[in-house]
Structure 1
Amino acid sequence: MNELHFAYKIRQHLNRGLNELPAGTLKRLESARQQALSQQKVLVHQSVLAGVGNFVQHQVDNLHIKQVLLALIVVLGITSYTYWYADQSITELEIIDSALLSDDLPIAAFTDKGFDAWLKSSASQ
């Protein structure tokens, strides 16, 4: 029995039980339902972009200029470090590739298991 069939059976059972309730109980349930619906908050429909703009405006009003500048400095620092680190990695790879291509190693040296260890030791020198 899948979930949809199970839910259908439960709904049938509840509807059958609803028909067996006394009239006074049904009226009390109906009035409680109406009272709950009257107290329910009404959703205001607005576009998604208006909601985002309202959120951003509310957040900006609560921030101080020092906090905004500090956040910008942190983002700029992280971006600069990432760029510098990537540039250093590329430079190291260029040096290793140049050394390998300019060397007179036979092709078998590249497939040797100790070649990786030699690369690491030559890179550290």
Structure 2
Amino acid sequence: MNSTLSTTSAAIEERFARRAAARLTQGTQDLPHDIAERLRAAREQALARRKVVRVLQSAPAVLQNGNTAALSGWWTRIGSVIPLIALVAGLLVISALQEDNRATELAEVDAALLTDDLPPAAYTDPGFVQFLKAESASQR
């Protein structure tokens, strides 16, 4: 990869910031003195905060002792397993609810068949079960 063609995001951000600052500086020439001073003070505060953030980002991470690192890794593993357990539990609950609903539906059809007076030929009709389902749904 050619190093002259590759520019980091920090360099792009820096160029954008310089162009934005130049445009803002050009626009302040027509402003009254008190507003220009307030803008200058705000810029200095922003630069001071930017320097603090840059220092914090470049500071290396320090572990106090080995137990902290081991405990942190343990909690990370537990944290990654908990969503998996929740997913499996949710799937099991959904499966159980669907089985229960299906059993209830079949029980309603069977009860309707056993309590109704019908000719024997009606029981062999393939659309009869659909008729009973539609009828029980309309009664609810």
Please indicate the TM-score interval, normalised by the length of the shorter structure.
0.3 to 0.5
The one of the two structures with greater contact order (alpha-carbon pairs below 8 A, sep at least 6) is 1
TM-score calculated relative to the size of structure 1: 0.45
